[in-house]
Structure 1
Amino acid sequence: MFAVLTHIAYFAVIVLLASSVPPAFLGSLEGTVNTIFIIGFLGAWRYSWAAINFTRAVIFRRVVYPRRKAKAQKKYRDEGVISHAYFLVTSYMVKPEVSLPVYRSIFEAAANSKDGATIVSSVVDGADERLIRSIYETMPRDMSNVQLVIDRIEANGKRDAMAKVLRIIRGFCPTHRDILVFVDGDTMVPHDIVAKSAPIFTNPKVGALTTDEAVQIERKSLYRDWFIMRFNQRQVMMCSMGLGNRVLTLTGRMSVFRADLATNPEFIEGVDHDFLDHWRLGRVKFLTGDDKSTWFWLLKNGYEMAYLPDVQSISVEEQPRDTFLDSAQTLMVRWFGNMLRTNGRAIALGPRRIGFFTWWSVMDQRISMWTTLVGPITILLTAILHDVMVIPLYIAWVMATRYVFCIILSMFRGTWFPVTHPLLLYFSQVFGAAVKTFVFFRLDKQKWTRQSSRGSAGALDAMTNRIRSAEAMAHHGIALLWLTIAIMFLTKI
């Protein structure tokens, strides 16, 4: 009942804001026609892009995926495929109460692998090693067909840990029929992940796949609502990209690879020592974004990457900072930094090589961070230079349109949404776009959420870092200034 009342209150606020604006308000603004045309044109473009992705997602989920799945499973049964499952697990600063259900799920999934499984876990702390062995030894299953290898390493970062584990697995000589499941130490895997994943690789073009994601956050909060909303969006976008069998990321939480590709020396080198040569920053060595490195290696080598919308991993998420805003900013800087460090070279591969829709989707990641800011900047300029009454009208419009978007996302997911989702959606769009523009000019700045280590463009001294920071600020400021001037010129505000 309380949830219903919050939605009623939400609509009451929309009506109140809209009714507070005089009927003749829009006609009194200079340049109204131009402003409406520009914002309307961009809005139509963005809404049509969303409609295209939603349509593709429905076609994939309801029509194409069931057929692909049935065909792959039939081929898997008919050929009598033998597929050994390898699990690569990285654990660093994960609480024991999280590691316990995570490793139980991994051991359960490994025990369910009909052709056996090998788990190689990378840990730093001896306490983690003892806990993992204890979980393995006390599993209420026959684990005789599951081999456990624990690689104790120094804390040199996730990429180093992954590369070492991949070299260990390479020593087992996996075949093109075997699969390799990449798992973060805070993610619970489905018990049937091997049975659901292995048939997909009967298609020789498929190099990897990723699945739906859910989040487990104990305390109800804005942070929890935000994550759920993001994963609802993710399901739609992933299904859209799944139609072309080329997703835009192989999430580091859990993805499955063809084992012989993931243990290819060039693949391992790409995980261990990936980098970007930037015209201003020089060589930027990648610290975070291992999932983007693996994605790009497969993309440039012509492999397809599938999506399984009916298979779901569950990540145990903790709020990294004290406040929601600080937490969101911290995560967005890492996520969008990984994206922007990689999508430039993906664009350079060209539409013929990776498919037009995939290429345009990657291109759109760069364009949308600027077009998303046009609306807020236009409204702010109008409020400052003409009439502040444009603000309540804009807020009412945002609240109404984002509510409709959330209804669409909810219909696709099959669950209703809390009243916070429309506002969190707008926050993710606008604040996310601002963070993207910030990161775009600072691609050398990287930081893990749990690790204190930072990455930059080589061993630079303090003076060089200050100069580069000033350069980044100048480039960023000029870009925003030109965007603002263009808006003022086109709208005649």
Structure 2
Amino acid sequence: MLRRGVAWPWQLAMLAALVTVSFFFVRLIGSVDAWAASRWKIFISLTGLAFWRWGWASLQFTRAAIYRGRVFPRIRRQAQLAEELSGPVPEVTVMVVTYREKEWVTAAVFESILAELTTISSSTGRARIVVATGCDDDDVHIRRVYDRFRRESGPFGPHPELTLLREERGKRPALVAAMEEIIAAHPDPDGVVVFMDGDTVLAPGSLRKVVPFFRLTPAIDAVTTNEAGIVKGPGWFCEWISLRMAQRHLYMCSVALSGTLLCLTGRLSIYRASVVLDPTFRDQVGRDVLDHWLWDTYEMFSGDDKSTWYWLAAHRRRVLYVPDAVATTIEVVDGNALRRAAANLRRWSGNSFSNSWRGIRLGPRRLGLFPWWGLIDQRLSIVTTLVGPLTAFVATLCGRYDIAAGYLLWAIVTRHLRAAAAWIHGRRFSAFYAPLLVLSEWIGSAIKLWVSFHPARQTWLNRGARMMDSTRAAGWYPLRRALAYYTFAVSWALLLVVISVSIGFLPILREAPLFLGGSASRHAVRTWTRPSPAGTARGGADGRVARPAVWPASSDAND
């Protein structure tokens, strides 16, 4: 059964569970004022970090609202006027890459493509579909949908041209083969080429909403759209996909306010044909190589959307986000849903993290200050996101359960505020968003830390379990792999030590004088005087006695 989320009874059950857990944490903390007063170091450290992260999140939300409410409507009016003056785009080519999709998924995808091309065929010239498939079954399923469409539309109806190619070596070779096929037909440079995955369904009217933007001046070279998701699988997986789509929508709108983007999704993006005609663009998509301090250079197997984005950014091409055009991704979860989610996070977060460094090197002048800082923030957030849960972990190990409970209560409350932004932009309420947001952020940051040392290892659990690692051919592979594991473990240990010292659980700084000051300072006795009740009978002439000083216990002793 396909669904977009969990039914209301389960939503209410999750709300009840969150309220119960929150009350438990409050009871464990006791008095919040007393907790904050006695734990002021931890409170100030985490609050300062929270102000930084919340300031950034608030800025993202504000920018997204401005783009959706004020900037994009003006751009759409300009695009409609430009289309009226210059006419529609001369041709539309839809390029699809599919690999062993289920028949009902393929039917839904290509029925939507044919319906969309029919709606715009009267205003555009040539319409064409080029598909790179992975097996004979894919060809049969596509032909079946296409033949049925031709019968239903009649002999005089608009019939887009269909071309099927076979490419089984991976998505990047399939994309290049499909682009070469398009180029062989000599497309109009001012036409558009739609890049689609074989599990993406076009919403009615989506192409009609997108193509007018390619008549704007200065020219738009690429467009990506809003996304939704439907899932055949567990309810929590549906909610997680819905959350990610809502977050994506918010961040895309925010970055688009700067006149650029940080990603052109591979599920659905539309390019000016002149971009596809450029051989350097095809080379970037076909074989993209990144540099790494440990692995030298390695080839990316996935992340083609990051390659297309980088080419456009490096060549200063104009890109746009269209929030009112929607593509729906069909996720079919077979087997262990937790493993599938972890593999997806590892691939998505890993590709973003691996590509961010070369984007940072483009500089703020080329990317714009806000998008450029957004790439830096992606790297900083690895540490900042993990500070809270690691503090709770260390506190639990030290028996300070009230501190752990305080942080977890803070996480529940604040993530509901973050989830509210996703509710608004995704136009859907879900009680599952807050706990899923907490887990996604923690696990995502841990995965990014892993990817920083193992950048090329990726796993696909949809359409068959596959794992690829382009660093296996590197010299000294066993030694480099061992070093990667070692530095990964040292990074975790160092992060734990820094957090423990900062919040006072590991009193290295406080006790350092006992070990670094020498034997004289350790055995020195400070004398002080006080009046003696016996006067000079027990002391000196002034009635005072010398006593060894007893240093008071540190105020942090009970922290």
TM-score band w.r.t. shorter chain: over 0.9
Pairing 1:77–2:84 present: yes
Matched residue, 2:541 = none
Residues 10 and 27 (structure 1), Cα distance of their counterparts in 2 relative to 1, 3 Å cut: closer
Pairing 1:241–2:255 present: yes
Give me the CA root mean square deviation. Answer: 2.0
Matched residue, 2:481 = 469
> How far did residue 137 of structure 1 move?
1.7
Larger RCO (alpha carbons 8 Å, 6+ apart):
1
Pick the aligned partner of 2:172 from 148, 159, 162. 159
Mapping 1:219-238, distance limit 5 Å: 219-238=233-252
Please report the TM-score for the alignment, with normalisation by the length of structure 2: 0.83
Pairing 1:259–2:266 present: no
* Between 436-445 and 109-118, the greater mean CA deviation after superposition: 109-118
The 8 Å contact of residues 36 and 43 in structure 2, kept in 1 or not, is answered as no
Pick the aligned partner of 1:121 from 131, 150, 153. 131
> How far did residue 150 of structure 1 move?
0.8
Pairing 1:17–2:30 present: no
Residues 438 and 409 (structure 1), Cα distance of their counterparts in 2 relative to 1, 3 Å cut: same
Aligned counterparts of 1:315 and 1:274: Cα–Cα separation in 2: 25
Q: How many residues get paired?
A: 486
Aligned counterparts of 2:204 and 2:148: Cα–Cα separation in 1: 17
Aligned counterparts of 1:183 and 1:351: Cα–Cα separation in 2: 30
Aligned counterparts of 1:261 and 1:111: Cα–Cα separation in 2: 25
* Between 434-443 and 381-390, the greater mean CA deviation after superposition: 381-390
Aligned counterparts of 1:340 and 1:13: Cα–Cα separation in 2: 34
Aligned counterparts of 2:35 and 2:472: Cα–Cα separation in 1: 54
Letter matched to residue 26 of structure 1: W
The 8 Å contact of residues 288 and 448 in structure 1, kept in 2 or not, is answered as no
Task: Determine what percentage of the aligned residue pairs are the same residue.
Answer: 29
Structure 1 runs not aligned, ≥5 long: none
Pairing 1:328–2:341 present: yes
Pairing 1:368–2:377 present: no
Aligned counterparts of 2:361 and 2:210: Cα–Cα separation in 1: 31
Letter matched to residue 101 of structure 1: A
The 8 Å contact of residues 227 and 329 in structure 2, kept in 1 or not, is answered as yes
> How far did residue 28 of structure 1 move?
7.7
Letter matched to residue 502 of structure 2: L
Pairing 1:177–2:197 present: no
Mapping 1:138-217, distance limit 5 Å: 138-139=148-149, 140-141=152-153, 144-153=158-167, 155-203=168-216, 204-217=218-231
Deviations 1:323-352 (A, max 9, x none): 42x222111111122112211100000001
Letter matched to residue 362 of structure 2: L
Aligned counterparts of 1:315 and 1:387: Cα–Cα separation in 2: 45
* Between 197-206 and 274-283, the greater mean CA deviation after superposition: 197-206
> How far did residue 6 of structure 1 move?
4.4
> How far did residue 125 of structure 1 move?
1.5
The 8 Å contact of residues 350 and 447 in structure 2, kept in 1 or not, is answered as no
Pick the aligned partner of 1:102 from 89, 109, 133. 109
Pairing 1:409–2:416 present: no
* Between 290-299 and 381-390, the greater mean CA deviation after superposition: 381-390
Deviations 1:428-451 (A, max 9, x none): 111111111111111121334446
Letter matched to residue 145 of structure 2: I
Pick the aligned partner of 2:410 from 386, 393, 397. 397
Letter matched to residue 288 of structure 2: D
Deviations 1:120-161 (A, max 9, x none): 0011222221221221121133654511111123x1001000
Please report the TM-score for the alignment, with normalisation by the length of structure 1: 0.94
Structure 2 runs not aligned, ≥5 long: 1-7, 506-559
Aligned counterparts of 1:446 and 1:260: Cα–Cα separation in 2: 32
The 8 Å contact of residues 446 and 456 in structure 1, kept in 2 or not, is answered as no
* Between 166-175 and 292-301, the greater mean CA deviation after superposition: 166-175
Aligned counterparts of 1:421 and 1:323: Cα–Cα separation in 2: 17
Pairing 1:483–2:491 present: no
Aligned counterparts of 1:378 and 1:296: Cα–Cα separation in 2: 37
The 8 Å contact of residues 42 and 503 in structure 2, kept in 1 or not, is answered as yes
